[in-house]
Amino acid sequence: MRRKKAKPHIEVKCDYCGSMTDRFVVNMEHKKFCRHQYVGFPPEKDCMGDYIEEKKNVQEKEKSKKSEKEEQEKKVLTDRKTAIRKLDELKQFLSKKKQAFFQKRPT
């Protein structure tokens, strides 16, 4: 007599949408996601895909936020440099003017 092997029914909680599912995938971080897909069809539900997409968006948002901040800091630095350079130019201009003024005078 052949015994029919019962397939263990495992249900896990999706780490993305929080629903219980027996069709799931596990990612590298050991997170479980629903994945309802029939072979040859696009997935009906693909929480890992959504999770990855969301994570990517968050990272990109943070990245753009960071670069925006760096850009602002760079601009402030440039402004300061420009201000210092302009001040130097002004000083040079004034000292040259002074020199010219003194040189013109007969000694």
Residues that bind Zn ion (CB under 5 A): 14, 16-17, 34, 47
Query: Phi then psi for 35, rounded to 5 degrees?
Result: -145, 100
Q: Write down the least CB distance from residue 33 to Zn ion, Å.
A: 6
Q: Which is nearer to Zn ion, 5 or 9 (CB)?
A: 9
Q: Which is nearer to Zn ion, 17 or 84 (CB)?
A: 17
Rounded-to-integer distance, Cα 68 and Cα 66, Å: 5
Q: Write down the least CB distance from residue 28 to Zn ion, Å.
A: 17
Q: Which is nearer to Zn ion, 4 or 9 (CB)?
A: 9
Q: Write down the least CB distance from residue 27 to Zn ion, Å.
A: 12
Backbone angle region of 48, left / alpha / beta, with phi > 0 → left and psi within -120 to 50 → alpha? alpha
Sign of dihedral through CA atoms 60, 61, 65, 68? positive
Yes or no: say if 35 and 26 are a contact pair by the CB < 8 Å rule: no
